[in-house]
């Protein structure tokens, strides 16, 4: 019997960048990761030790993959519910639960649940001042942790930057949004990490915009800006391990997404950014570079928000090829 035999094995359906970052977190916890990937060259498959190439819509592929896993989680946009429910009936553990995933894809169910709980909800608001997000984690035992409220900015519906913690938000209002987020985890019995997006309407008014299960792009800052990343706490939560601290490691952390641009080979611009600003934390996903495709992100922490924003965007623009110096 090896020393690893007492440590759990987590299966991940899908092999995108979220699965890749779960693998990185799992290494620190000595947790084995199994991937079911549609190809051997997906982002997470490139760094995984245990990869099964298969089709999640094929029940045979799915059931064979599930063998010897303690729990299965997801990096998917679409779910093969019939196969998942069949496997769940046979005893397979999924986290988050299949029922929670289905419920949170039903906008009418979400709206009714939130209204019945007297929580402010609106899924489509034309005029708002900014978008705020809260990441949290909840285990089956009911232990929860909640991260600082962050400010998110999108360009053409694609997340561009995140500022943690959100500037110009009072402690009282931040606590209010964090408490709403934790209440939502109870209402929908969420196990794992999740994110709640809020519309900030100004005048101290906030509406729930969206609830997203699993690690999200708006939580990428936690890799370098929090004591425990959203990825590590997701693994801890779905395995019922004690959750890690969500405390900030610095007064401010900024995350900026990197989209594919002029450089098909990003190694040279990567080296330039590392030399130009050693404080940067650059995360690339091993993806084939295509125009407008999300291929990485940049994190940087410090005290001066305007300085951090300038440096993070400079690096992202250089990696993309928008600037050359």
**pLDDT tens digit sequence for 147-179:** 999 999 999 889 999 999 999 999 999 999 999
What is the spatial distance between Cα 28 and Cα 237, in angstroms, rounded to a whole number? 15
Lowest mean pLDDT among 103-112, 120-129, 150-159: 120-129
Q: Which residue has the tokens 């079911």?
A: 36
286-303 CB burial, b ≥16 within 10 A, e <16: ebebeeeebbbbbbbbee
Q: Where in the chain is the domain with CATH 3.30.470.20?
A: 107-320
Phi, psi of 160 (to 5 degrees): -105, -50
pLDDT greater than 70 at residue 302? yes
What is this structure's pTM? 0.96
**Cα–Cα distances in Å, from 89 out to 27, 85, 92, 99, 231?**
30, 6, 7, 12, 27
pLDDT greater than 60 at residue 235? yes
pLDDT greater than 60 at residue 3? no
Segment 41-57 shows an average pLDDT of 97
What is the spatial distance between Cα 206 and Cα 62, in angstroms, rounded to a whole number? 41
**DSSP result, 168-226:** T--HHHHHHHHHHHHHHHHHTT--EEEEEEEEEEETTEEEEEEEEES--GGGTTHHHHB
pLDDT of residue 203: 93
Q: What's the token pair of residue 235?
A: 């693994």
Confidence of residue 6 (pLDDT cuts 50, 70, 90): confident
Mean pLDDT for all residues in the chain? 95
107-320 domain in CATH 3.30.470.20? yes
pLDDT tens figures, 78-95: 999 999 999 999 999 999
pLDDT greater than 70 at residue 230? yes
pLDDT of residue 322: 87
Identify the CATH number of the domain defined by range 3-94: 3.40.50.20
Confidence of residue 5 (pLDDT cuts 50, 70, 90): low
Q: Where in the chain is the domain with CATH 3.40.50.20?
A: 3-94
């Amino acid at each position: 019997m090896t020393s690893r035999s007492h440590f759990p094995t987590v299966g991940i359906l899908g092999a995108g960048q979220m699965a890749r970052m779960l693998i990185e977190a799992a290494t620190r916890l000595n947790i084995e990761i199994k991937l079911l990937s549609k190809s051997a060259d997906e982002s997470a498959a490139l760094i995984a030790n245990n990869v099964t190439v298969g089709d999640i819509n094929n029940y045979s592929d799915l059931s064979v993959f599930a063998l010897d896993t303690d729990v299965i989680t997801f990096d998917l946009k679409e779910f093969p519910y019939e196969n998942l429910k069949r496997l769940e009936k046979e005893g397979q553990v999924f986290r988050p639960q299949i029922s929670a995933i289905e419920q949170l894809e039903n906008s009418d169910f979400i709206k009714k649940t939130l209204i019945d709980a007297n929580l402010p909800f609106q899924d489509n608001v034309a005029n708002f001042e900014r978008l705020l997000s809260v990441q949290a984690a909840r285990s089956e035992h009911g232990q929860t942790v909640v991260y600082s409220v962050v400010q998110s900015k999108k360009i053409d519906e694609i997340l561009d930057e995140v500022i943690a913690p959100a500037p110009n938000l009072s402690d009282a209002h931040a606590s209010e949004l964090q408490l709403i987020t934790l209440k939502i985890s109870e209402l929908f019995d969420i196990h794992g990490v999740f994110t709640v997006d809020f519309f900030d309407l100004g005048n101290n008014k906030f509406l729930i915009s969206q609830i997203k299960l699993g690690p999200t792009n708006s939580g990428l800052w936690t890799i370098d800006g929090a004591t425990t990343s959203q990825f590590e706490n997701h693994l801890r939560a779905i395995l019922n391990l004690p959750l890690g601290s969500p405390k900030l490691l610095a007064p401010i952390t900024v995350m900026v997404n990197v989209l594919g641009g002029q450089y098909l080979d990003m190694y040279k611009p990567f080296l330039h950014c590392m030399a130009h600003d050693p404080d940067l934390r650059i995360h690339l996903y091993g993806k084939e570079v295509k125009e407008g495709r999300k291929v990485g992100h940049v994190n940087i922490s410090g005290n001066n928000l305007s300085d951090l924003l300038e440096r993070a965007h400079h690096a992202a623009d250089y990696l993309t090829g928008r600037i050359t110096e």
